[in-house]
Amino acid sequence: MQAKSLYGMAVEQFNKAAELMDLEPDLAEVLRRPKRALIVEFPVMMDDGHIEVFTGYRVQHNVARGPAKGGIRYHPDTNLDEVKALAFWMTWKTAVMNLPYGGGKGGIRVDPKKLSKRELERLSRRYFSEIQIIIGPHNDIPAPDVNTNPDVMAWFMDTYSMNVGHTALGIVTGKPVDLGGSKGREEATGRGVKVCAGLAMEALGIDSKKATVAVQGFGNVGRFGALLIAQELGSKVVAVSDSKGGIYNPEGFDVEDLIKHKKEAGTVVTYPKGERIANEELLELDVDVLVPSALENAIHEGNADKIRAKAIVEGANGPTTPEADELLFKKGVLVVPDILANAGGVTVSYFEWVQDLQAFFWKLEQIRSALEEMMTDAFNDVMKTKEKYGVDMRTAAYVLAIDRVAYATRKRGIYP
């Protein structure tokens, strides 16, 4: 049987919500389709003088509520289907958070680990010049994603600024703080995960100070999510994993110490204060909250029945398949979907963009406070929709988001 495409999976989630809310078929068709998909093939001179041609993408899914917003990833498996799906999810993520944005996403098919820093810079600058025909501070604002970081955003910002003849801080978010970036951006997605984990526990009547948590994936999202869940909610983080495997300690980890070890050793599996387990085993542990923060489709039809967590808070994009969603809903597991749970990053990106356009920058505590307030409001809005329709949280989040984008589309009308 042919595997379902990521975009096909995203559309399936949309269709379920659209049918439930009785969305007009014509409007549903408009909202399913990406507005624009750009594929660029571009040459880059390598350090040894030979030229390689790379393929890059930028997809703008919907801009009814504002400029497209979404990250740019560098990965050898990046393709148009994946980028379309991620842009599609960004439309609903920004709408769930009630941000004045639409959805966008970009990427280059490349293994950045095989490039020198100079090659990476040349690749980044050429790609950004190629997609400049559709981006701008008021039409599409990229950000970091898999294998991109503040340094890459600085190159992007400088490239665009050189091309237009003036410094344009608002062209990308996720920049270094001293170059128009926002305080609190690095921890933002993890902080949003922490807020959702706390609210999910509250909804289920679980005392966060007695709760156990497992985190799959220990990159930026998993690392900050685990740290803040332990420090600010007082929960025990009993298992974590990365691409090499996982570790488990029923007494809970000192997450700060674990982060230090990961930095030094490059993996969590060699941490001495835990028993080694496989990534699959981590997903099936008897914990209160599971935070999948690795890659897509981690929770599927084959393992959903074995999951014992009471709540799942999706730090990654698309970690649960539609089939698994149904099984988990029947089991009474509260799944806080990606388009809500990991929206902290895009929310602080919005704060950064606002600060750049105004050339007025906020204090860290203002950013944290505003983020926590917006995440709480969004969680409560989704819970109300869930109760109204008697559905799972993902479907509720889609219904809420689709309703907001559909409203904007109806009010604006179809041009011309």
For residue range 46-70, list pLDDT tens digits in order.
Answer: 999 999 999 999 999 999 999 999 9
Do 332 and 192 reside in the same domain of the chain? Answer: yes
Do 192 and 336 reside in the same domain of the chain? Answer: yes
Tracing tokens 């340094």 back to the chain, one arrives at 151
Do 37 and 168 reside in the same domain of the chain? Answer: yes
β 140-144/334-336 pair status: unpaired
What band does 357 get if pLDDT is binned at 50, 70 and 90? very high
pLDDT computed for residue 3 by the predictor: 60
For residue range 88-116, list pLDDT tens digits in order.
Answer: 999 999 999 999 999 999 999 999 999 99
For residue range 148-173, list pLDDT tens digits in order.
Answer: 999 999 999 999 999 999 999 999 99
For residue range 175-192, list pLDDT tens digits in order.
Answer: 999 999 999 999 999 999
pLDDT computed for residue 1 by the predictor: 43
Q: Is residue 375 part of a domain?
A: no
Residues acting as catalytic residues: 105
Instruction: Give the end of a domain, one of 281, 315, 341.
Output: 341
pTM exceeding 0.75: yes
Q: Is residue 394 part of a domain?
A: no
Q: Is residue 162 part of a domain?
A: yes
Cβ atoms of 107 and 124 within 8 Å: the answer is no
Do 169 and 234 reside in the same domain of the chain? Answer: no
Mean pLDDT for the stretch of residues 368-381: 98
pLDDT computed for residue 78 by the predictor: 97
Do 292 and 337 reside in the same domain of the chain? Answer: yes
What band does 317 get if pLDDT is binned at 50, 70 and 90? confident
pLDDT computed for residue 297 by the predictor: 87
Tracing tokens 């999510």 back to the chain, one arrives at 225
For residue range 188-202, list pLDDT tens digits in order.
Answer: 999 999 999 999 999
Q: Is residue 167 part of a domain?
A: yes
Do 60 and 161 reside in the same domain of the chain? Answer: yes
Do 40 and 102 reside in the same domain of the chain? Answer: yes
Count: domains in the chain = 2
Quick check: 284 pLDDT over 60?
Answer: yes
Give the list of residues 6+ apart from residue 25 with CB closer than 8 angstroms, or none: none
Do 220 and 330 reside in the same domain of the chain? Answer: yes
For residue range 73-87, list pLDDT tens digits in order.
Answer: 999 999 999 999 999
Instruction: Give the end of a domain, one of 179, 197, 225.
Output: 179
Do 222 and 155 reside in the same domain of the chain? Answer: no
Instruction: Give the end of a domain, one of 341, 367, 389.
Output: 341
For residue range 131-152, list pLDDT tens digits in order.
Answer: 999 999 999 999 999 899 999 9
Q: Is residue 410 part of a domain?
A: no
Cβ atoms of 341 and 193 within 8 Å: the answer is yes
Mean pLDDT for the stretch of residues 224-251: 97
Do 163 and 50 reside in the same domain of the chain? Answer: yes
Q: How many angstroms separate the CA atoms of 353 and 175, rounded?
A: 10
Mean pLDDT for the stretch of residues 324-343: 96
Do 95 and 194 reside in the same domain of the chain? Answer: no
Residue 206 sits in a domain of what CATH number? 3.40.50.720
Cβ atoms of 228 and 234 within 8 Å: the answer is no
* Domain range for 218: 188-341
Q: Is residue 401 part of a domain?
A: no
What band does 13 get if pLDDT is binned at 50, 70 and 90? confident
Do 171 and 267 reside in the same domain of the chain? Answer: no
Cβ atoms of 108 and 38 within 8 Å: the answer is no
Q: Is residue 271 part of a domain?
A: yes
Residue 169 sits in a domain of what CATH number? 3.40.50.10860
Torsion of CA 192, 354, 402, 225, to 10 degrees: -10
Q: Is residue 315 part of a domain?
A: yes
